């Protein structure tokens, strides 16, 4: 039986204008997302959910947005350093009030382990330990496998196109499901306009359809 799935990636206050890690144009996509929620059988939202001591948080202004090599008991990784954002149980981590989040069927929280970051909605970022590369699942890959069928469509939207949306879509493609994957272009916003456009072009090269709400 055909299923329509929508994944709403990280539409949270800290990623909107005025937030700790704001993406310009974030508020504008909210009414567009609201307008399509009833078109889907399942609506899944991802939510950045960090502790105050998360490893991805910058310690000094000089290091902001730089990429560094980090090592802890979980393993080694390359990590971009971000301002504190989406702290657990704070306003910044919440879905905005004007987003119809009551229509979400499933909410997948990611980045809750302070020792590993998580861009994708499906897995934590890659870490290396004892020369073995691993990525811990968030649980979303299992949900998608359970919902998968021969005639299934998974649409993706959210913030930011060039980071968490990009990683989420690529991981869905790597699952090799029967589901057709599409990007709702005008329901996404990037860290930068250039990053958004580059990522959309990258998706098209991979055969991912882009649609408009």
Q: Which residues are catalytic?
A: 10, 110, 164
Q: Which residue has tokens 């290091």?
A: 63
Strands (E), 50-179: 67-72, 75-80, 106-110, 127-129, 132-134, 152-159
Taking the CA atoms of 156, 159, 161 and 164 in sequence, report the sign of the dihedral they define.
negative
Per the CB < 8 A criterion, the answer to whether 106 and 6 are in contact is no
Kindly give, in sequence order, each residue whose CB lies less than 8 Å from that of residue 202, ignoring residues fewer than 6 positions away.
166
> What is the gyration radius of the CA atoms in the chain, in angstroms?
17
Residue 183: its H or E element: strand 180-189
């Amino acid at each position: 039986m055909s299923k329509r799935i929508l994944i709403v990636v990280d539409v949270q206050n800290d990623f909107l204008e005025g937030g700790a890690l704001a993406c310009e144009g974030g508020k504008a996509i909210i009414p567009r997302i609201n307008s399509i929620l009833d078109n889907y059988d399942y609506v899944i939202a991802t939510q950045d959910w960090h502790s105050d001591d998360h490893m991805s948080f910058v310690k000094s202004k000089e290091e902001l947005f730089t990429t560094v090599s980090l090592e802890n008991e979980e393993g080694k990784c390359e990590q971009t350093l971000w301002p504190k954002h989406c702290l657990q149980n704070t306003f910044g981590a919440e879905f905005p009030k004007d987003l119809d989040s009551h229509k979400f069927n499933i909410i997948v929280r990611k980045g809750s382990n302070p020792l590993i970051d998580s861009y994708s909605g499906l897995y934590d970022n890659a870490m290396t330990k004892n020369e073995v590369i691993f990525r811990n699942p968030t649980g979303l890959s299992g949900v998608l496998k359970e919902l998968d069928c021969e005639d299934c469509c998974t649409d993706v939207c959210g913030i930011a196109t060039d980071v968490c949306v990009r990683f989420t879509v690529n991981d869905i493609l790597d699952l090799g499901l029967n589901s057709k994957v599409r990007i709702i272009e005008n329901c996404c916003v990037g860290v930068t306009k250039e990053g958004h456009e580059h990522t959309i072009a990258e998706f098209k090269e991979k055969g991912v359809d882009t649609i408009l709400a």
